[in-house]
Structure 1
Amino acid sequence: MDKDLKPFLSLIIFGNIENLILAAQGVSAHVDPVGLSILSLIAVVIWFLIGTFGTKVAMKYARYINFVGGLAIFILGLQAMVQSVPGMLSFM
């Protein structure tokens, strides 16, 4: 692995977890899966383009990017758990 990309490894791993959380939120909110898929693909292409052309600029901000990305993942995870509590309590 390229040593310049190593600082972003944790963001890649936790970004995949974030995608799973967002997919679960879409399912629990009864979102149209086709529309969600199209929007997800558009977002992936945009992030791919940003990653391809913005990596050199972002290298000096790797610590901040990792922190903000990790914080966003943490907040989305908390949001998903808080939103799922009422549904879990209704089964009791």
Structure 2
Amino acid sequence: MAGELRQFLALIVFGNIENLILASQGVAAGVNPIVLAFLSLCAVVCWLLIGTFATKAAMKYARYINFVGGFAIFVLGIQAMLGAIPGMLAFF
């Protein structure tokens, strides 16, 4: 089983990094931390259930899943950087 999941390792690592980015965006936007924590926990539980029950079906689509997930992480990272530019320019 570990060998089968190895192809998803990069997506797991970068997905966790993106979770941290999204959480910091929520805090910077002034979202209630309790609501943010609850929604984050709900998302984690949903992904755990999907991963637990749909892993075997998803194996044949691993390349597509990695591409779509990586692209989403890339786009959200760019969005986070673009959103931070006005705040960075305020210091100059």
Same-fold status (TM-score > 0.5): yes
1:42 is the counterpart of 2:42? yes
Aligned residue runs from structure 1 range 7-46, under 5 A:
7-46=7-46
Other-structure match for 2:73: 73
Give the superposed CA RMSD: 0.9
Query: Structure 1 length as normaliser, TM-score?
Result: 0.96
Secondary structure, aligned partner of 2:69: helix
Structure 1 residue 55, shift from structure 2 partner: 0.2
Other-structure match for 1:86: 86
Structure 1 residue 20, shift from structure 2 partner: 1.1
Please list the CA deviations of residues 28-87 of structure 1 after superposition, one character each: whole Å capped at 9, or x if unmatched.
Answer: 111110000000001100000000000000000000000000000000000000000001
Work out the CA distance in 2 between the residues paired with 1:28 and 1:85.
Answer: 13
Aligned residue runs from structure 1 range 54-65, under 5 A:
54-65=54-65
Structure richer in helix, relative to its length: 2
Work out the CA distance in 1 between the residues paired with 2:21 and 2:76.
Answer: 7
Structure 1 residue 91, shift from structure 2 partner: 1.4
Query: Structure 2 length as normaliser, TM-score?
Result: 0.96
5+ residue gaps, structure 1, are: none
Structure 1 residue 2, shift from structure 2 partner: 1.4
- Letter in structure 2 aligned against 1:40: S
* Number of positions where the alignment pairs a residue of Structure 1 with one of Structure 2: 92
Work out the CA distance in 2 between the residues paired with 1:34 and 1:59.
Answer: 35
Q: 4+ residue runs of structure 1 moved beyond 6 angstroms?
A: none
